Structures are given as structure tokens and as C-alpha cells.
Structure 1
Amino acid sequence: MSSTALIIPARMGSTRLPRKALADIEGKPMVVRVAERAARVEGISEILVATDHADIVEAVERAGFRAVMTPEELKSGTDRVAHVARGLKHEFIVNLQGDEPVVPPEAVEAAMEPVLAGRAKMGSVCTVLRSREDFLSPSVVKVITDCDGNAVTFSRLPIPYRKPEFDDDRVLRERHVGKHLGIYVYRRDFLLEFAGWEPVFWEQWESLEQLRALYHGVKIGMGRIERDSQSVDTEEDLQKARKAFFEENR
């Protein structure tokens, strides 16, 4: 029977928000809040936090979760996840970023579905673009999907390009355009292959690792949900995440 491990990469050395993995979210470190969300996802056999710092290990284990130390020199969260996955036997691997303290569990399940169903070796998820500001913001990654629900492309630019006769509301209503949520699901064998590929120009320009898969002709199956998430990269993001967590749990 197939099984799925969910790995949360969490490093200490964030440049824009130092020690963000341990930032407080209603009395607990952010990485622990992410692990608690992961525990609500259906179909997960094992949850691990992949980190480069003993303080994160201590916080995670104190909360009752398992943490694994990984080399500090690993360049990305995907590299950290792949490093841990090499020592696992699970057929499927979920990469859930350690800066997603309010991620809806159904977002992870939606990303898992195309991979577990055998339609793709890699899966992810998107939600609705909610405003013109989101559409134009380089901090919000946009995705376009095809008629089968697979990703055509991702960009920080407002895609698709809008001709003057089209208004923004039409783009926001379009079901094949969405806001990408940074959750990835892989067949384990493909993840290890993917992590061994050199970065390509396209992903480096956009700073989007998933473009490496598209460059190599790999299909990324996309789930879609209505709820949004709030990743944390800055102090402003952290305040938004705290507010969202409080409102959801009051």
C-alpha cells in the first residue's frame, strides 16, 4: 500500500525576517503551527521537519513532532526535503513550507490528488485571485492551467497579458488563472531526480523552482481551492498571519 510523508523545510537564516521559523503565532512557534496544520491533512503517514538549526529541532520535538537536522549549506527548501526523502521509504512526498501557519489542510489534499491518482509526477495547488492588487503584485505568483488542470506556466508578472478591451474583473473570474500556493507533492523517485537537475535560466529569473520541472517537460497537476493562505516572508506578512490565525480560532 502506498504511503505519503509530509516534510516541512524550516531554516533559521531567513534574510528578510530573521528566525522566522520560531516567530510566535498565538503562543507557539510558527513551524509548530505549520506542523499542527499538517496533522489535520488526510492521508499523511509521517510528518517531519527538515531544519538546519538545533533551536528549531528543540521547539518541534517539545511540541511532539519529529525533526531532522540537514546540512546548513543546502540551497533551497526542495534540497532540504529531498535530503530527508532519500532516507525514507514512502512513495509520495509533500513539501509544505515552514512559513505557512494558516494553510488550509484541504490545500495540501488538493495538491496531493493529481499525484496520488497517477495523473502527474508532481502536483501543486492554487486559489482564486482576489484583487487587482494581487494580480499585479510580484509577491503573488500567478499560474495558468490548461483544460486538464495542469500548469502551463507560472510567473510573478500579471499573466496573461491583458489587452485593453479586457477588464481586470474578467481575469479574476477566469478559472484557469489563479494565485499559486507554495505546496508541492512528488512521487519520491521523481523528487530525487528533480533535485539533481541544475537550475535553469527561467526559474532563476523568476525565482520559482517549479519552472525547472516545466522546462524539462514535466507535467504539474494543479488542484484548486477557494480558501487562501498567508505565507510569511516579512514582518508585515507575519502580522497578517497572526491576524488570520486569531480570527480563525477565536
Structure 2
Amino acid sequence: MKTIAIIPARYASTRFPGKPLIDIAGKSMIQRVYERTSQAKSIQSVVVATDDQRIAAHVQEFGGRVIMTSESHTSGTDRCAEAASHFDDADIVVNIQGDEPFIQAGQIDLLTACFKDDSVNIATLIKKVDDAEDLFNHNIPKVTVTKGMKALYFSRSTIPYLRDAEQSSWLDKHLYFKHIGIYAFRRSTLIQLTELPPSPLELAESLEQLRWLEHGYKIQTAETPYQSHGIDVPDDVERVIALFKDDL
């Protein structure tokens, strides 16, 4: 089973233009993501998918592989799918977030291990919610799962709602999970997903994965102990560097 990792990267971010090329303690963010991803034992090939020549040139400078993609993509999934179309021999495609310079290789290996089950076509990671701030933060999607760890629903709201308990006690009474935004797909499934029209639930919550659930696809989840630490705005840079100063 051949597994490839694709890192979608665009320059024109509204909140942080040029984000993939910012310096993270001596290396660009995209280089750190690329090198971390390459450490995963389950990955045979890593490629950056971009529509920007500046990013492409930089990736080639540090010895990375890059594929140019369309400027019209509205999501990283669509960009990932176009890049995956160049890998006819790939079985599994992992979509790596390009703004997590300290992603754990173990997370990638945990995700790809889901595909040992032949029935799994899409997989993603979840993490136990440990504090109330995350539990009630609408910017952190929550997820409910079946006993077999398949996703039932993703929401920006706190799910499930505990009707007969004070909110201050919810973490003591129920096991909550938040979504860690890294996905893996069977290549054929990834291509199919890009052909689906937006769905009402996706538009309501602004969560792309709800489109897949609403169209009948199943999403396998795996629980990771590691928190993701993405860089969304310039103020995040120093915070993330401080968290991982021992890894620099």
C-alpha cells in the first residue's frame, strides 16, 4: 500500500499573506512541515501542492518536491486532490495542514494505520477535550463518534448537549472530543469528494467534512494524545515557537 502526503500551500492568505514562507527559528514554515512529515514511517512520498511560484521555488531550494496546481481551488482538499491525480500508483493520500510546523510524525502514522481496515475510505484524528475553554470555543470543532470510532457529527457547538447538568460539570460527566484537522483518504475517494456539491450542513457550520457525511460517506477517527498547534495569524508565531523551543 503506497501512502503519499500532500501539503497544500497558498500564498494569498487573507489573515496572514505569505504564511508558508515565514521564518520559524531559522527555517520556513513549509520546510518545517515538509521535514516533519517526511519523518513519518508510513509515508513513501511528500509533495507540496501550490499555485504560487515563490512557494514552489523555495520548496525546490530546500530539496522538496512540488506540484503546481490551479489558482481556482477554494479548499485545501481540492488542491490536494489535483496533486493526487499525478500519483496513479498511490493508494492512500494524507492531507497535511501546511500551517503546523511541529506536526508529530506519530500522528500521521496513527492516521494511516486506520486503512489497515479495508472498509475505511476517509480517516481523521480526534483528541479528548481537557478544559472548558476548548469545550465552549466555537472556533474548535467538536465531534461525536460511534462505538467503532466513526464520526457521527462535527459541530462548532458543544456536542452532545447535556440537558440535565450544569455546563460547569459537563467535562466530569461526559467524554468530549475535538477534531484535529488532518485527513487521509483512499485516492479514489478523494477524487470523488471533490465532485460533491456543497451541502446544507456544511454551509451552516462552515465545516467541509459535513459535506462528506451528508452525502453518505463514513469517516473513521483515531484518538491522538497530541494537540495541534496551527499558525493562523502573525501573533501565533512566537506562541508556537515557545511551545516547541526544545525541538528547534
1:51-66 alignment to 2 at 5 Å? 51-66=50-65
Is contact 2:111–2:123 with CA below 8 Å preserved after alignment? yes
Is contact 1:104–1:228 with CA below 8 Å preserved after alignment? no
Q: Structure 2 counterpart of 1:187, which letter?
A: R
1:11-50 alignment to 2 at 5 Å? 11-50=10-49
The aligned residue for residue 135 of structure 1 is 135
Deviation, 1:219, is 1.0
Is contact 1:131–1:172 with CA below 8 Å preserved after alignment? no
Q: Structure 1 counterpart of 2:95, which letter?
A: N
CA distance in 2, matches of 1:112, 1:193: 19
Is contact 2:5–2:93 with CA below 8 Å preserved after alignment? yes
Is contact 1:126–1:225 with CA below 8 Å preserved after alignment? yes
Is contact 1:51–1:70 with CA below 8 Å preserved after alignment? yes
CA distance in 2, matches of 1:117, 1:55: 40
The aligned residue for residue 207 of structure 2 is 208
Q: Any unmatched runs of 5+ in structure 2?
A: none
Task: Report SS of the residue matched to 1:196.
Answer: coil
Deviation, 1:190, is 0.5
Q: Deviations over 1:13-71 (max 9, x none)?
A: 11111111112111111111111110111111110000111111122122221011111
Aligned pair in 2 of structure 1 residues 164, 243: CA closer, same or farther (>3 Å)? farther
The aligned residue for residue 85 of structure 1 is 84
Deviation, 1:245, is 2.5
CA distance in 1, matches of 2:172, 2:118: 30
Q: Structure 2 counterpart of 1:214, which letter?
A: L
The aligned residue for residue 73 of structure 1 is 72
TM-score (norm 1): 0.93
Q: Deviations over 1:62-106 (max 9, x none)?
A: 222101111111111001000011111201100011011122222
1:1-250 alignment to 2 at 5 Å? 2-88=1-87, 89-168=89-168, 170-171=170-171, 174-175=174-175, 177-246=176-245, 248-249=246-247
Q: Deviations over 1:140-197 (max 9, x none)?
A: 111111100111111111111133525545437744x312111110000010001111
Deviation, 1:244, is 2.0
Task: Report SS of the residue matched to 1:214.
Answer: helix
Q: Structure 1 counterpart of 2:161, which letter?
A: Y
CA distance in 2, matches of 1:80, 1:172: 41
- Backbone CA RMSD of aligned residues: 1.7
Q: Any unmatched runs of 5+ in structure 1?
A: none
Name the count of aligned residue pairs. 247
Identity, % of aligned positions: 34
- The runs of at least 4 aligned residues of structure 1 exceeding 6 Å deviation read none
CA distance in 2, matches of 1:4, 1:218: 21
